[in-house]
A = this chain, B = another copy of it.
């Protein structure tokens, strides 16, 4: 099982009963895989906890995981600017783990306080892939991309108001990043970034090989 891909339930628009049922069924038919559910309402989270006590529910990232992830390979650093970006960063981090890579979570490193992101430079450099989560003007990926040459996936968040247009300002900022080698996923799509980054990290050669 090379890619480490998990089964996934997209919780938006599903009833708590449907979520529980899908998790249970997928877990039974794919006993060797983890099953991930995302975008869970509070009600769905409670229903999962009640019906499937072995599931791990994360209220911040609004996810539930049932079954165990594959042996982890490689490391993804998940970097987030502010506390409002925490839910998307958590969805990304959980997805990375479920899809089979280690996570190094680096938070509270917004561009208006450069020393914080600069003091994280070594951890950034040690990762096999970066996920950079930011709302508002979405400038963090450009700054991080200027510091290290690690493949970088940017996730715009819908944090903001007025002319942030629900994350469009951050999305456009990231698509136009002056740092080369920045790729982008949909607004608030921590899941998609996590799948992508886990695939990159799992396929990366170990550090000793890379530095040869």
Contacts and interface: CB of A to CB of B under 8 A. Distances in A.
Contact of A161 (B156, B186, B209): B186
A117 to B, nearest CB: 9
Contacts of A174: 137
A159 B183 CA distance: 20
A151 interface: yes
A183 B142 contact: no
Contact of A139 (B12, B142, B159, B203): B142
Interface residues of A, number: 78
A183 B195 CA distance: 10
Contacts of A32: none
A128 interface: yes
Interface string A133-172: 0001111001101110111110010111111111111111
B196 A181 contact: yes
Nearest to A81: B178
A183 B171 contact: no
Contacts of A162: 156, 158, 166-167, 171, 175-176, 186-189
A92 to B, nearest CB: 12
A22 B140 CA distance: 25
B175 A185 contact: yes
Interface of A: 2-3, 5, 8, 12-13, 81-82, 84, 110-114, 118, 128-129, 136-139, 142-143, 145-147, 149-153, 156, 158-189, 191-193, 195-196, 199-200, 203-206, 209-211
